[in-house]
Each structure stands twice: as structure tokens, then as C-alpha cells.
Amino acid sequence: MTERTSLRDELRLLRHGRDWRGRSTVPRSADPWILDGKPRDLSNQWARSRPAVAARAMLRGGLLRPVTWSQTQPVVEGSDYLENLRGPVVFVANHSSHLDAPLIVGSLPKRFADRLAVGAAADYFFDARWRAVTSALFFNTFPVERHGAGRQRSQAVELLEQKWSLLLFPEGTRSEDGTMGVFKAGVAQLCVANQVPVVPVALRGAYMAMPRGRNWPVPGRPRVAVRYGRPLYPAEGEGFRELRDRMMRAVARLAAEEDQGWYGAMRAEIDGTLEVPSRRGDVPKASRWRRTWESTRPLADRSRRRVWTW
């Protein structure tokens, strides 16, 4: 018992910046770190002003969408689910490429695209002033803390109260191998607490078109698919974990429709063979290189697929 206590004390000393003898590892001449000035304003309120909204609409129609559509071949399906839907809503999508936001924003109806705010990683998009301004001008971004949801949740609630729809990537970061990861609970908590409908969105081919490490799509205009699903409404008494699971299944089913079709993906979900990320930490069915290879496989051109075979 004494040895355990002594070891615990030594570890506590090391954690507080002292060596095993209890001496401080910080030189006496070192000045204490003091926060210089006020914290940075990451709210980007200017991006939601009328001039900024008008400028963003012109940039979206004159630059963002034409460039994205000229470098890739987007196929958008399921947008009819948005016809009778009124905001605010939360769009949730798998995240594998920096193309994800341009593809979704460029494929949304104008009434949603004009009133959309995109959650962006605070430690990347807001670490440099020029990047924060550029992303806010094109996408109306607001900061998302990937290792703590305090600022994200407060700003997201404010945006929803102001009738802004949100685009969020619940995985928290881009996939390293193109496969969908487990959704974090923050987005589901937000939707349950505010009783906001969720629109699942699945992107296929974006990882192959522009994987990690590239700042421009690969040559050849690769085909990418953007699929919108039926809105999900938080049920009475439903917890955020249950809604999070429904969100993951919906996005996984939409992604499977690209290969299996609508009926095949529906049957896979019913049979329990639909590949949905497990929050229990199960071992993946395939190795990393195999998953990366599968994610970089070009999507088939389904425009020439026949309904009847002879």
C-alpha cells in the first residue's frame, strides 16, 4: 500500500511539471504564459449579413459550382425529398474529401444554399485568418471543436434559432481510407434538443476524386455521387444515441445504393448485412489497404444500365 501511494505521488509530481525529486522542470527565469489580449472572435457574423449572402450566391453560381462540376462528374439523386421540406434542417454526410462541402452546397436548391452554414474544424479552418475568411465567404462556416463541442453547440443553436440550416460531418474528420467512420454524438444531441429534422447525405467517389493530401481533384473528371435521403425526425422520447444510430444507418444505406440499388440496399439493412460503422470498436472486415483500394475504385457509369436484360 505504501509503495502504491509513493508511486502515485511521484506520478502526480511528474504530471505537474516536477521531476522525481520534486524539483520543478521549468527554469525560474521563465516567464509565465499569459493570454495576450481577448480571445479571437470565431463567430463570422459578417458572413451572414445580406451583402455576404449575395456575394456568396454569386460565387457559388459563378465560380464554386462551375469549377467543381468541370473537374468532376457529379450525379445528384434524392433531391426530390427536399421539395416540401422547410428549414431549418441539419444535413449530415459522410466525410472523405475536401470536395464534400462544394458538392453538397452546389447541389442544394437555392432556398437551402442561401441559408446554409457549414461546420468546419476550428483547429484547421480557423487557425489562419485568410483561411477563416475564405471559407466563411464561400461556405458561411462556423467553428467546430473536434475535441470538445462547447463552442460548436452554442453557435449551432444560435444559427438554428436564426433559421439557418446546417451542414455537419458527424465523423469529425475526413476518412483516411475513404470508408465511413462512427458518428460522434454531438450532432444527434443538437437535433434531439432542438427537435430539428435531419437530412442524411451520402457521397461516393469523392475520396477517389480528391483524397487526403491533394489540393485539387485528380485528372479525368471522375464520377461522384451525391444522394439525399428521406428526412429523419426525432421521435418522441427518442434519445440522441438512437437518433445517431438511425443517422448512420441512413447514410450507410444511401451509400450502398450506388452499388446495390435502392432495393438491394433496403434488403441489406433488413437482413443485417448492411455495413454500418460500429461504435463498439469492432475489428474492420478488411485491412486498411483493402478499404483504400475499394474507395479509389471508379464508380460505374449507371446512365447506360438497362432496366431489362435479354
Residue 203: per-residue pLDDT? 97
Interior/surface letters 117-144, b for 16+ CB within 10 angstroms, e for the rest: bbbbbbeebbeeeeebeebbbbbbbbbb
Residue 204: per-residue pLDDT? 95
Whether residue 148 is contained in a domain is answered as yes
Contacts of residue 163, Cβ cutoff 8 Å, sequence gap at least 6 = 87, 88, 115
Contact 136, 170 (CB under 8 A): no
Angle (deg, nearest 10), helices 186-194 and 150-161: 30
Residue 308: per-residue pLDDT? 45
Whether residue 280 is contained in a domain is answered as no
Whether residue 92 is contained in a domain is answered as yes
Whether residue 29 is contained in a domain is answered as no
Contact 232, 83 (CB under 8 A): no
Residue 11: per-residue pLDDT? 59
Residue 109: per-residue pLDDT? 96
What would the grid cell of residue 174 be? 475526413
What would the grid cell of residue 212 be? 487526403
- Three-class DSSP category at 121: strand
Whether residue 301 is contained in a domain is answered as no
Whether residue 131 is contained in a domain is answered as yes
Residue 310: per-residue pLDDT? 41
H-helix or E-strand spanning residue 223: strand 223-228
Which residue, 78, 106, 105, 75, is CA-closest to 224?
75
Whether residue 244 is contained in a domain is answered as yes
What is the tally of structural domains in the chain?
1
Which residue, 103, 134, 90, 113, is CA-closest to 244?
90
Question: Residue 98 belongs to what domain range?
Answer: 45-208+218-275
Whether residue 17 is contained in a domain is answered as no
pLDDT in tens, the chain (310 residues): 455 556 666 556 555 555 555 566 666 666 665 544 454 556 688 999 999 999 999 999 999 999 999 999 999 999 999 999 988 999 999 999 999 999 999 999 999 999 999 999 888 788 888 888 999 999 999 998 766 544 446 789 999 999 999 999 999 889 888 889 999 999 999 999 999 999 999 999 999 999 888 889 999 999 999 999 999 999 999 999 999 999 999 999 999 998 889 899 999 988 988 988 876 545 456 666 566 656 667 777 765 554 444 4
The CATH number of whichever domain residue 117 belongs to comes to 3.40.1130
